[in-house]
Amino acid sequence: MFSGLKKVFNSLKEKILTTELSKEDLKEELWRFELKLVENNVAAEIAHTIVDEIASKLETKKFSRFEGTDKIINSIYREALENLLEEVPEYDLINEIKKNKPYIILFVGINGTGKTTSIAKICNFLKNKYGFKCLLACADTFRAGAIEQLESHAKVLNVMMIKHKYGSSPTAVAYDAVMYAKKYDVDVVLIDTAGRMDTDINLINEMKKLVRVIKPNAILLVVDSLSGNDAYYQAEIFNKELNITGYILTKVDADERGGTILSLIYSTKKPILFVGTGTSYEDIIPINKEWIISKLLE
């Protein structure tokens, strides 16, 4: 996981520790480091920010092969990452659910990111770990098989699901789900939506209508970790149009590069709440900024 970014940083660190670098040499190595960050799916603007932060600290230090230098360089890199993520707020989902009943979560994103599976995983997490009463709703009334897919998850998880016929209004499905939750003392409503391209204005406008009607407590954008710089642009557009709460990042277990996780949260200053790490219901991890930093350093 994220081995690409770790290799790039370790290569820079080894060069600093084993070579007497002049100012020009250091500048050249940092430029190579910046290019390697971009190659590992860190957006160019973010890569430049990280390198500037590191450069400002490295240029004031002289390193020799004495004990402890490795820790100093790690500390500089950690501080650069911390500063990069400083403006990203933490979001305590469990506490928010406890304060708002029913707590309505709308899941959005383009096709193929693993949105429906992620909904099932989070439902399983909330139900089994915290005992929340959950309700699934399929507001994806367009994609063939979407209703059946979510329904199969609902049966396995033993939770109620609200559905309408294909071609029905997604807003009507979501509205009925919220009304049901209020009537039957449901803690969390998890609403699936049609996967849509971030540039499809008509579908985005339809999603805006749904948001206006049901007023979800959270809008989570599901993004594929392997999508690279596409994730950066998806995040910007969805956040601009829908004001997302945060992200679910899928397929992290297969992401050897690792840059997507930085690009995603830097683009909108919104937190990643969960990462998907496999195909089973248990393969989802709630995360925070410290988790991200530790995974990029370890």
User: Mind listing the pLDDT tens digit for each residue in 111-161?
Assistant: 888 999 999 999 999 999 999 999 999 999 888 889 999 999 999 999 999
pLDDT at site 63: 55
What pTM value is reported for the model?
Answer: 0.92
Greatest mean pLDDT range, 75-79, 106-110, 291-295? 106-110
Quick check: 21 pLDDT over 60?
Answer: yes
- Please write the tens of the pLDDT for every residue from 8-17: 888 888 888 7
Query: What mean pLDDT comes out for the span 217-238?
Result: 88
In percent, how much of the chain has pLDDT > 90? Answer: 52
Q: Which CATH superfamily is domain 93-297 in?
A: P-loop containing nucleotide triphosphate hydrolases (3.40.50.300)
Q: What is the average pLDDT score of the chain?
A: 89
- pLDDT at 199 exceeding the cut of 60: no
pLDDT at residue number 186 = 98
Would you say residue 284 has pLDDT above 60? Answer: yes
Structural element, H or E, at residue 188: strand 188-192
Same fold, 3-84 and 93-297: no
Lowest average pLDDT, out of 38-47, 112-121, 169-178, goes to 38-47
Domain boundaries, the chain: 3-84, 93-297
pLDDT tens across 55-78, in order? Answer: 888 776 655 555 557 788 888 889
**pLDDT at res. 64:** 54
Q: Is 185 exposed, middle or buried (0-12, 13-18, 19+ CB in 10 A)?
A: exposed
Judged by average pLDDT, the poorest of 119-128, 168-177, 194-203 is: 194-203
Higher pLDDT, 228 or 191: 191
| Mean pLDDT, range 17-23, rounded to an integer | 76
Contacts of 265 (CB under 8 A, 6+ apart): 85, 88, 247, 271, 272, 292
* Res. 217: pLDDT tops 80: yes
Q: What is the pLDDT of residue 68?
A: 58
CA distances from 44 to 262, 265, 266, 271 (A): 11, 14, 12, 20
CA angle 196, 157, 130 (to 5 degrees): 95
Please give the pLDDT value at position 60: 67
CB neighbours of 227 closer than 8 A, spacing ≥ 6?
A: 113, 234, 260
Percentage above 70 pLDDT, the chain? 95
d(CA 230, CA 224): 9
Look at residue 282 and tell me whether its pLDDT is greater than 70. Answer: yes
**What is the domain class of 3-84 according to CATH?**
mainly alpha
Q: What is the pLDDT of residue 197?
A: 62
Evaluate if residue 265 carries a pLDDT over 90. Answer: no
Which tops the pLDDT comparison, 29 or 137?
137
The pLDDT value given to residue 61: 63
